[in-house]
A and B are shown apart, each in its own frame.
Chain A
Amino acid sequence: MERFKQKHLLGIEELSRDEIDSILDTAIIMKSVLERRIKKVPTLRGITVANLFFEPSTRTLNSFLIAERRLSADTINVSKSFSSVLKGETLLDTARNLEAMRVDMVVIRHSVPCSPHYLAERISASVINAGDGAHEHPTQALLDMLTLRERFGNIEGLKVSIIGDILHSRVARSLTIGLLKKGADVILCGPPTFLPEWFEDYGVKITYNLKDAIVDRDVIYVLRIQRERQDAAFLPSLREYIRYYSVNRDVLNRYARKDVIIMHPGPVNRGVELAPDVADGPWSLILHQVTNGIAVRMAILYLLSGIGSSGGVE
């Protein structure tokens, strides 16, 4: 197989099918490293990774931190509350400052869509998108695809439904693109305010009816519902959302296949988008997703470090 030639991980959009496979193959190796007695390899010694988290996210940040440390990279964290961002420093200022400190890779989480792309064009370090607004969250999609591959052996032909606030979800966008590249069949489901018809342009089916997204599907991927959405009139009430879109045992018993799998990017609002017994039940792969997150992020750090860091290009 071709070596991995990307310098940045900006989105699933930018990856070819083969590149997705390379990342997942490498992630499986990384997963075995995590099972060793000494769960650390010297691979990224001397490489410094900056984690720029402008949105609160303990889970993704911790996952990246563990991945970086398992590979022996040095890490520094910049979060909104500690950085000069509050003093009016721009993203570019912050990044250029880090670069002057010889940072090799930048992991960025930002509420502004496409800010990693913006950064990638302006600094020499490798940029890894850890979630940009409602645009993409490629590492989440990759860890989800790894979870699916482990469970089903193959993603091609899998029937996956993604349910919830599709409009505001970077996970939905990245996962949809990734699954389609790998030949899965995707249905998007949610109330119309969360599911503009433009999503059909991805080449997926959209439905406003939960039943249609449950019947005969291999995987039900449930998105987190932000309670604030009621204020902007996207939802009449949480009560109404729960009534028509919450994935609970009753809905699964009535419509789902027996062997259906439930996934969620976390953290789960138990009792809102997912009933507690479903989130914690035998269908759920949610904790597998978390473990795979570290492996996928290690794989990406390893693969990108060949192009971005001080090492030359062939």
Chain B
Amino acid sequence: MKILIKNVRIFDPASGIDEEGDVFIKNGIVSKKKEETRNIIEGKGLYLFPAFIDIHTHIREPGGEDIENFESASKAAVAGGYSTIFMMPNTEPPIDNDGMVRFVVKRARDVGLVKIYPVGAATIGRRGERLTDMRAMIECGCIGFSDDGSPVKNPRILRRILEYLKGTGIKFIEHPEDTELSSDGSMNEGSLSNKLGVPGIPWVSEASVVIRDILIAEYLSSPIHFAHISTEASLDLIQFGRKRGVKITFEVTPHHLLLDEDNVKITDSNFKMNPPLRSKRDRKALIKALKKGFVNAIATDHAPHPLYKKELEFSLAPFGVIGLETAFSTLYTEFVRKGVIGLNELIEYMSVKPAGIFDLKTGMVRDGAPADFVLIDLKKKWKITEDKFHSLSRNSPFLGWDVYGRVVYTIVDGKVVYKEGD
């Protein structure tokens, strides 16, 4: 299997390349030596980036096949330019044993579009009581552990999880939230939630768990990864932890970077997610951290819900928004085009850096590197509308946005898995 991509703008921050040229792929690997092939992609006017890696995706299979199954999630991922996604374990039943891990690996391979790595539950049933068979799960292909959707409430259990993972090279991913403090909240707690009479989720419900986890990780000399960091306080605490030598990595979501509580439309549950859209101040702090290179990854927290569940009053609707198909375009339009961060930084946050956290290889334009690429027309303007999604769900807070940058091809292991318009 050979592909020649001609006259494409090669943009690879990892190897520092930014030039127009050809890329030749053979057997899923980049090859310096070009060969004859009829399989030619005309890349004029397109950028070639290492394909994106989303370390935080919710696929609803098993249990919610009509909401997002392996086929639909895979299609959504490649349409968004992703070659690799991590699947969170909060399915029904959850991914809390090696049999479930095998199931995910098999289903992903059967669909064969995108690489799907399962994140296993750290505790059985995600109940925070007994540890899962983590070694067996790692052996079957688990990339990390998390009770995401819920925190590990009990600090003693958290301690055991981090201890047990020592020496495996596998990370624990915390969903940092004190659910007692969040209580029945459904948006950021503050002046706005108070005015609307809507119970709030205070920033301290995130930050208090962040500092608890940092101290436990420090005590055990274990690394820790935080999912969807949304508050200024958490960033300060992470900085504090890093100064003390704790190996902390964390991700932020596109919606927390692009929206804040003032964007919440209280009659539209597409603005309801957990953590909630925070204050302007929190959002500014996240952007500042992004600009300083303090952030380790942008991850979507893609959380599909069907219309019949989202079409409820704000307080009753489930948390979560989809993100795989809008992440690049929204961030490129709002951040890169407006000069907040450079194109290379965005590509690093969406591909190179997340790969680094979990020791994955990304696409690189170097002899022998895996051919995971995305080709994007940066000049192409499009409107985010419900009919454009490949996901089975439509719960996006970005509906109606005019954005730039359309994925034209996604190539995974040298195979074209997405072509715009197909």
- A–B proximity contact (CB within 8 A): yes
Bound form: Cα–Cα A120–B313 in Å: 12
Asked if A133 meets B315 with Cβ closer than 8 Å, knowing A113-B196, A113-B197, the reply is yes
Whole-angstrom distance between the Cβ of B196 and the nearest chain A Cβ: 6
Report B-chain residues with C-beta under 8 Å of the C-beta of A201: 191, 194-195
Across the interface, name the chain A residue whose C-beta is closest to B266: A114
Whole-angstrom distance between the Cβ of B267 and the nearest chain A Cβ: 5
* Interface mask (B263-277 → A, CB under 8 Å = 1, otherwise 0): 000110000000000
State whether the Cβ of A170 lies closer than 8 Å to any Cβ in chain B: yes
The residues in A between 128 and 152 inclusive whose CB is less than 8 angstroms from any CB of B are 132-136
Across the interface, name the chain A residue whose C-beta is closest to B186: A113
State whether the Cβ of A282 lies closer than 8 Å to any Cβ in chain B: no
State whether the Cβ of B314 lies closer than 8 Å to any Cβ in chain A: yes
* Interface mask (B183-195 → A, CB under 8 Å = 1, otherwise 0): 0000000110011
Report A-chain residues with C-beta under 8 Å of the C-beta of B314: 112-114, 118
| Inter-chain contact A117/B191, CB cutoff 8 Å | no
State whether the Cβ of A82 lies closer than 8 Å to any Cβ in chain B: no
| Inter-chain contact A134/B313, CB cutoff 8 Å | no
| Inter-chain contact B316/A173, CB cutoff 8 Å | no
Bound form: Cα–Cα A114–B312 in Å: 11
Report A-chain residues with C-beta under 8 Å of the C-beta of B315: 112-114, 133
Whole-angstrom distance between the Cβ of B178 and the nearest chain A Cβ: 15
Query: When the two chains form the complex, which single residue of B190, B194, B313 contacts A115, counting CB atoms closer than 8 Å?
Result: B313
Residue among B190, B198, B267 facing the most chain A CB atoms (10 A cut-off): B267
Residue count of chain B within 8 Å CB distance of chain A: 15
State whether the Cβ of B311 lies closer than 8 Å to any Cβ in chain A: yes
State whether the Cβ of A121 lies closer than 8 Å to any Cβ in chain B: yes
The residues in A between 159 and 194 inclusive whose CB is less than 8 angstroms from any CB of B are 167, 170, 173
Bound form: Cα–Cα A117–B191 in Å: 19
Report B-chain residues with C-beta under 8 Å of the C-beta of A199: 194
Report A-chain residues with C-beta under 8 Å of the C-beta of B190: 198
Bound form: Cα–Cα A91–B315 in Å: 13
Bound form: Cα–Cα A29–B267 in Å: 35
Across the interface, name the chain A residue whose C-beta is closest to B183: A232
Report B-chain residues with C-beta under 8 Å of the C-beta of A135: 196-198
Whole-angstrom distance between the Cβ of A116 and the nearest chain B Cβ: 10
Whole-angstrom distance between the Cβ of A61 and the nearest chain B Cβ: 20
Bound form: Cα–Cα A27–B319 in Å: 42
| Inter-chain contact B197/A136, CB cutoff 8 Å | yes
| Inter-chain contact B313/A170, CB cutoff 8 Å | no
Whole-angstrom distance between the Cβ of A20 and the nearest chain B Cβ: 18
| Inter-chain contact B191/A114, CB cutoff 8 Å | no
| Inter-chain contact A173/B195, CB cutoff 8 Å | yes
Report B-chain residues with C-beta under 8 Å of the C-beta of A115: 313
| Inter-chain contact B194/A114, CB cutoff 8 Å | no
Whole-angstrom distance between the Cβ of A254 and the nearest chain B Cβ: 32
| Inter-chain contact B267/A114, CB cutoff 8 Å | yes
State whether the Cβ of A226 lies closer than 8 Å to any Cβ in chain B: no
Across the interface, name the chain B residue whose C-beta is closest to A135: B197
Report B-chain residues with C-beta under 8 Å of the C-beta of A291: none
Bound form: Cα–Cα A90–B266 in Å: 17
A-B contact pairs, 19 of them (CB 8 A): A90-B311, A92-B311, A92-B312, A110-B313, A112-B314, A112-B315, A112-B316, A113-B196, A113-B198, A114-B196, A114-B315, A118-B313, A118-B314, A120-B267, A133-B197, A133-B198, A135-B198, A167-B194, A173-B195
Point out residues on A near B: beta carbons under 8 Å: 90-92, 110, 112-115, 117-118, 120-121, 132-136, 167, 170, 173, 196, 198-199, 201-202
Q: Lowest 6 CB-CB distances: which A-B pairs, in order?
A: A135-B197, A134-B197, A198-B194, A113-B197, A198-B191, A112-B313
Point out residues on B near A: beta carbons under 8 Å: 190-191, 194-198, 266-267, 311-316
Known: A92-B312, A114-B266, A201-B194. 13 other contacts (CB 8 A): A112-B313, A112-B315, A113-B196, A113-B197, A114-B198, A114-B314, A115-B313, A132-B197, A133-B197, A135-B198, A198-B191, A198-B194, A199-B194
